[in-house]
Structure 1
Amino acid sequence: MNFEGFATDLVLFAPVLFKGFGVTVLLTLSALPLSLVLGLALAMARLSPVPLLRAAAVGFIGIVRGIPIIVQLFCVYFVLPELGINLVPFAAGVLGLGVAYSAYQAENFRAGFEAVDRHLLEAGRSLGMSERLIFRRVTLPLGLRTALPTFGNTTVMLLKDSSIASTITIAELTRAGQLLAISTFKNGEVYIMVGMLYLLASLPLAAAVRFMEKRFATT
């Protein structure tokens, strides 16, 4: 593999790989809000004073984190149709990744909420604020601020793990690379390009995470 040949292949393969790259980004951006909404709900249940609700959240998080994401995607794509729920591959990928990462987001939220200074909570109670109002005005904004850098790390992980969606025929970047490598027999060139595109997306996210960590460490 020489540089000139690689550059030629890059020009030829770019349209296919960039199309798959666009699907990867769209898949990540679609699964991320779902994971955040479910994660916030799970974190609130995890910290709930209601034992049953708390136990259910702990159990759900433990189960989801204990099962490989690829198995969860297979369950969504292959098992749900047996129950009468049919999803197109992209929707199945969004649901599978969103649910899988909701467990990690829940732990991010929980850690952020628990890091809030207890004295601030006591101050709110001394002012006659209800627990719900304290959560909305104190715990939630300060907890989100504390957990923000970890959200960035989790987003980078989600972006990379979106490659698993290729196993349920979603034509994202990894799948596009697989099909291209099979048809051209240029495995080295293709997968180097695939890796470069993942770096193209993940490095700016990683840089943003480092910036946020430094920004909030000084405030």
Structure 2
Amino acid sequence: MFSNQERIDRIIGILIDSFFPILKAGIQFTIPLTIITFVLGLILALLIALARLSSVKVLIVLAKFYVWIFRGTPLLVQIFILFYGLPSFGITLDPFPAAVIAFTLNKGAYSSEIIRAAILSIPKGQWEAAFSIGMTKSQAMRRIIIPQSIRVTLPPLGNSFISLVKDTSLAATITVTELFQKGQQIASVTYEPLWIYIEVAFIYLIFSTVLSYFQEKLELRYDKGIAK
């Protein structure tokens, strides 16, 4: 049996030894997975939002159905369907691509509502002003409406990005060796799950804090740009 001091020394040693491997997994997998998913999800979200706002009934119905499905079902279930369910139809995905697809589809649905609400928040007078100088609807959307909508979407999309960093921990369930999965591996060897998971939480907190700082800077910079 270990004495109290020996146990404390052992735990400290484990935490020191495991910190950089867990951090490395976060940098190699968690951050890339988050960035790739967010960018693809944002593109998809814009397309879905524009479809919802179009006058084409088929596009509206399809966009609503997509949002209904992916906002109404758990992200974990969506991941499992893609990774464990699709092989039943002969479609096998590697863990990382499966995670990218699942997170993209999920975030695309949520972000589309943020973008749609931001576009709808722009006063109708902006549309009328654009039409009065001969712009088409697509030109008005591209040059007037969307640039103004960016200011409205920055806070919620920034929060969504930070939330996505933490959501990527679900990729561990399909063996993506991201931050949380690495922590699980170390915990299973060291038999110190409490302290390892606290360390994992601390590293997630570091990532979230840094991203929150840059989010605030981006919002302030954009607000200054608008003010000028």
Q: TM-score, normalised by structure 1?
A: 0.92
- Larger deviation, residues 27-36 vs 76-85: 76-85
Which consecutive residues of structure 1, in runs of 5 or more, have no partner in the other structure? none
State the Cα distance separating 1:4 from its structure 2 match: 4.8
* Residue 13 of structure 1: aligned partner: 18
Partners of 1:122 and 1:83 lie apart in 2 by 51
* Residue 56 of structure 2: aligned partner: 50
Looking at CA atoms only, which structure, 1 or 2, has the larger radius of gyration? 2
Amino acid at match of 1:19: K
SS at match of 2:177: coil
* Residue 179 of structure 1: aligned partner: 185
Partners of 1:6 and 1:21 lie apart in 2 by 22
Partners of 2:138 and 2:20 lie apart in 1 by 51
**8 Å contact 1:149–1:212 — kept in the other structure?**
no
Does residue 28 of structure 1 match 2:28? no
State the Cα distance separating 1:6 from its structure 2 match: 4.2
Structure 1 segments (4+ residues) deviating >4 Å: 1-6, 211-218
* Residue 100 of structure 1: aligned partner: 106
Q: Deviation digits for residues 132-186 of structure 1, max 9, x if unmatched?
A: 1111111111112221121100001111100011111111111111111111111
SS at match of 2:142: helix
* Residue 81 of structure 1: aligned partner: 87
* Residue 151 of structure 1: aligned partner: 157
SS at match of 2:32: helix
Amino acid at match of 2:211: L
CA RMSD between the two structures: 1.9
Q: Deviation digits for residues 82-118 of structure 1, max 9, x if unmatched?
A: 2232211011011111111101110111111111121
Amino acid at match of 2:25: G
How many residues align structurally? 219
State the Cα distance separating 1:207 from its structure 2 match: 2.7
Q: Percent identity?
A: 34
Partners of 1:103 and 1:183 lie apart in 2 by 39
Partners of 1:17 and 1:213 lie apart in 2 by 31
**8 Å contact 1:24–1:159 — kept in the other structure?**
yes
